[in-house]
Structures are given as C-alpha cells and as structure tokens.
Amino acid sequence: MSGAILLTMASFVPIGARAQAYSGPKCLGPYCVGQPVSAKRLINQVEAPGEKFSFWMFLAVYKSTDGRTCLDLRENPDSPDDITYILLSDTSRCPGQNSKDDLRAWKTPEGVGLGSLERDVLGTYGKPTSEQNGKSKYHEQCAGTREISYGGKLAGSVRTTKLGIHNGRVSCISLSNIEYSGPRCLGPLCKGQPQPSAGLFRRLGLPLGTKPTEGYYCFN
C-alpha cells in the first residue's frame, strides 16, 4: 500500500515515558532496573522446597502463603536467563504456586510497597511522568482504580515503573528492564501519552460508520 498509513489499536497503548532522567524506584525486593536479573537466582529465592515450576510462554507466577499477594515474573525472550519484568499485586486471585519468600515484604529501597499511601509515593518520587484515571489496564490482576507511572532515561535507555492505586494505597507495582531508546513520537502519537482513538480518527478524516478491516484502518 504505497503512501498508506496503517494504524492498529496497539499504537495507543502507553508503554514508556518521556525522555527525561528516571526518578522512580530502582528496585523492588531483589529485582532492580538497569542491571541484569538472573532468572535462576530469583526463582531459587521464591520457589518453595519440593516444588518445581518451569516458565510457560516466558511467564512464571507465584503467590504468598497467605494468598494475598501475587508475583508475575517474565523472562526475556531474547535472553531467557534474565527476568525482564515483574508485577507484584495485592490480590486473592492468583493462579501461581506458593512462594517461600514473604512477597508482601518486598519494598523499594525507599520503603514503598503494597499498601503504601499514594501521598507517600508522591512525596518520595515526585510528580508521576504519566497518570491514568479509571481502572488500570496493564494487567488484569492489578486492582488499581488509577495508574501512575515513573519513566525516563536510566543507563542510556528508557525505563518505566507503574503503580496501581486503589483507595489511596498502592495495589500493584511493576518494574521492567525492557530497554527502549528509539523515537518517542510519530506525528500526534506519543508513547506514554494516551490519546482517545476517536479524536485521532476524526483528525485523519475517518468517515462516520466506517468499520475496520481485520483490526486495521488504512489512510491514503
């Protein structure tokens, strides 16, 4: 399609932050951003004796013995020896196996963890890079009614940490070592700055009632 623009709904997913210095938490429990995290070492720390769990589709899930906390670990597809992403959630719906580690005790170096007050998060890390009202959409286990993100450049690459906020307290925290150093924007679309699709389509001139073909919109 010469001269055409293809847009999918994935284009509007906020995955990152503006290219500024990273100001968010650098560690949560034993997991830190900006440095490799060994999958074997982290699994040995959380896996209960007698249980053996292998990654499925690069994902492993563990729950606290009291059933109130869930930990998702994701391997790096390009380097399976490393954990590239973790999500710690306050939830009683966790499909994982029991962890021998006290997952609820995992904190950032500044003492922020599940149940921390939002005002303490803001007092520690400052104004978030981005914020979304409404239920957090980045993971179904995150019971957040709002999502705040801290992102920016760390060790030459853009990193992002997200926190779900429920009733004024932290309900989930995700840290990622996925590196990104490419462009932040293409025309009106920018990473970390969600934009309603309806407004963009009106700007591009999508006729009313037009249906997408196989999930794509094509503009010449």
Question: Do 220 and 171 share a structural domain?
Answer: no
189-190 and 185-186 as β-strands: parallel, antiparallel, unpaired? antiparallel
Q: What angle do CA 75, 12, 212 make, to 5 degrees?
A: 110
Question: Do 98 and 168 share a structural domain?
Answer: yes
Taking the model in full, what pTM does it have?
0.69
Question: Do 216 and 133 share a structural domain?
Answer: no
Question: Do 166 and 204 share a structural domain?
Answer: no
Question: Do 220 and 141 share a structural domain?
Answer: no
Q: How many domains does the chain have?
A: 2
Question: Do 164 and 198 share a structural domain?
Answer: no
Question: Do 172 and 125 share a structural domain?
Answer: yes
Question: Do 132 and 144 share a structural domain?
Answer: yes
Question: Do 102 and 191 share a structural domain?
Answer: no
Parent domain of 46: 17-179
Question: Do 190 and 133 share a structural domain?
Answer: no
Residue 143's pLDDT is 62
CA distance 152 to 169: 24
CA distance 67 to 70: 8
pLDDT per residue rounded down to tens, the chain (220 residues): 334 444 433 333 344 434 588 889 999 999 988 888 888 888 888 887 666 666 666 788 888 888 889 999 888 777 778 888 899 999 888 888 888 888 999 999 999 999 999 999 999 999 998 888 765 544 455 666 788 999 888 877 778 899 999 999 999 999 988 766 677 788 887 765 666 777 777 788 877 777 666 566 777 7
